[in-house]
Amino acid sequence: MSVPAAYIGIILIWSTTPLAIQWSGDGVGYLFGITSRMILGVVVGLMVAGLFKVRLPWHAEACRTYLAAGLGLFFAMTSVYWSSQFIPSGWMSVLFGLAPIVTGLIATVWLAEQALNAARIVGMLLGLAGLAIMSLGSQQLGPQAAYGISGMVFSVFAYSLSAVIVKRIGAEVPALATTIGGLMVAVPLLVMVFVLAGEPLPGIVPYKAMWSIIYLGIVGSVLGFALYYYVLRHVEATRVALITLITPVLALLLGYLLNGEPLQTEAMVGSAGILSGLLLFEYGQLIGKWVRDTLRG
C-alpha cells in the first residue's frame, strides 16, 4: 500500500469520526456506542484477516505491541466518548490536535527522534494558549464543558503514550494484526466497564446511532486503525500525529454543516492558536530558514 494514500485515508476517516462518535451515542448512551463499535471491529477485523490470510503473531514483542495498542485504545477512546457528551464534535478534533505536541515530547525522551528547540517550545506555548482560550469559550456551553475538555486532554496523553510505546517496541507485526490485537485487549475491558456501570441494553437503537456504530466499527476501527499502524511503522511518530493538524479544520466544518454546531469566536481563535502551535512545533526550523533565505535574497 502507498504510504501517502494511507495517510490521506486516515485524514478522511479521522475528520468524520468525532461527529460519528456523537451520533453513535444518541438514544443508547456512550458506553453502548463504544462497546458495540469495538466488538464489531474485532469481528470484522478477524473476518478480513481470514480473507487475506493475515496471521496474528504471538511472540513476546507482538504481545507487548497488542497490549500497548489495546490499553491506549481503551483509555483514549473511552475518554473521547465520555467527552462527547459535553462538547461539540469539532472541539473534540481540535483538542485532539494537541497530540503531536504531546507525542513529540514523549518521543524526544524515548525515541530520540528530534530534540526540543526554540521553535518547538514556542509552538508548545501557542498550543497551550489555544487550549486556554477554548477553555474560556467553553463557559458558553455550560459548566460541564470543562469535563469534556479535561477528558480530551487525558485522551491525547493516552493516545500519544501508546503510539510512542508501539513505535519503541518496533515489532514486525502487520498493521491489521496490530489493530485486531489491540481491539482484543480493549474489548474485554470495555465490556467489564459496561457491566460494572450497570448500563441496560437499549431496546431500540435509532437509525442514526446504528449506522454511526457500523461506520465506526468497520471504517473507524478496522480500516482507520490498520492504516494508522501501517503509517506508524513507516513514518516517525511525530509525523503521524501531524495528521491532527489537518483533521480539526474538516471536523469543525462538518460539525457546523451537518450537526448545527456553533462556530464561536473563542473556538475559532483557540483552534487557530493550537493549529499554529502545531505548525510551528513541527516546521518551525524550516519556516525560519525560509524567512532568513527570503530576507537575504
Least-confidence region, from 1-15, 42-56, 204-218: 1-15
Is the per-residue pLDDT at 289 higher than 80? Answer: no
The arithmetic mean of pLDDT across residues 145-154, rounded, is 93
SS3 letters across 194-227: HHHCCCCCCCCCCHHHHHHHHHHHHHHHHHHHHH
Is the per-residue pLDDT at 136 higher than 70? Answer: yes
Per-residue confidence (pLDDT) for residue 237, from 0 to 100: 63
Is the per-residue pLDDT at 22 higher than 80? Answer: yes
The full set of domain ranges for the chain reads 3-296
Task: Please write down the long-range contacts of 209-215, taking CB distance under 8 Å and 24 or more positions apart.
Answer: 209/23, 209/24, 209/25, 209/26, 209/27, 209/28, 209/33, 212/20, 212/21, 212/23, 212/24, 212/26, 212/33, 213/24, 213/33, 213/36, 213/37, 213/40, 214/40, 215/16, 215/20
Question: Which segment, 85-89, 112-116, 189-193, 287-291, is predicted with the most confidence on average?
Answer: 189-193
Number of Cβ within 10 Å of residue 60's Cβ equals 10
Per-residue confidence (pLDDT) for residue 113, from 0 to 100: 62
Gyration radius of the chain's alpha carbons: 19
Per-residue confidence (pLDDT) for residue 229, from 0 to 100: 79
The arithmetic mean of pLDDT across residues 269-273, rounded, is 87
Return the higher-pLDDT residue of 45 and 137: 45
The arithmetic mean of pLDDT across residues 111-119, rounded, is 71
Per-residue confidence (pLDDT) for residue 293, from 0 to 100: 73
Is the per-residue pLDDT at 172 higher than 70? Answer: yes
Per-residue confidence (pLDDT) for residue 149, from 0 to 100: 92
Return the higher-pLDDT residue of 235 and 197: 197
Measured distance CA(143)–CA(201) in Å, rounded: 29
Least-confidence region, from 57-71, 131-145, 257-271: 131-145
The arithmetic mean of pLDDT across residues 211-220, rounded, is 94
- The average confidence (pLDDT) of the chain is 87
Residue 34 identity (one-letter amino acid) = I
The arithmetic mean of pLDDT across residues 121-135, rounded, is 85
Is the per-residue pLDDT at 238 higher than 70? Answer: no
Per-residue confidence (pLDDT) for residue 292, from 0 to 100: 74
Is the per-residue pLDDT at 106 higher than 70? Answer: yes
Per-residue confidence (pLDDT) for residue 18, from 0 to 100: 92
- Which positions ≥6 away from 121 have C-beta within 8 Å? none
Return the higher-pLDDT residue of 250 and 279: 250
Per-residue confidence (pLDDT) for residue 212, from 0 to 100: 96
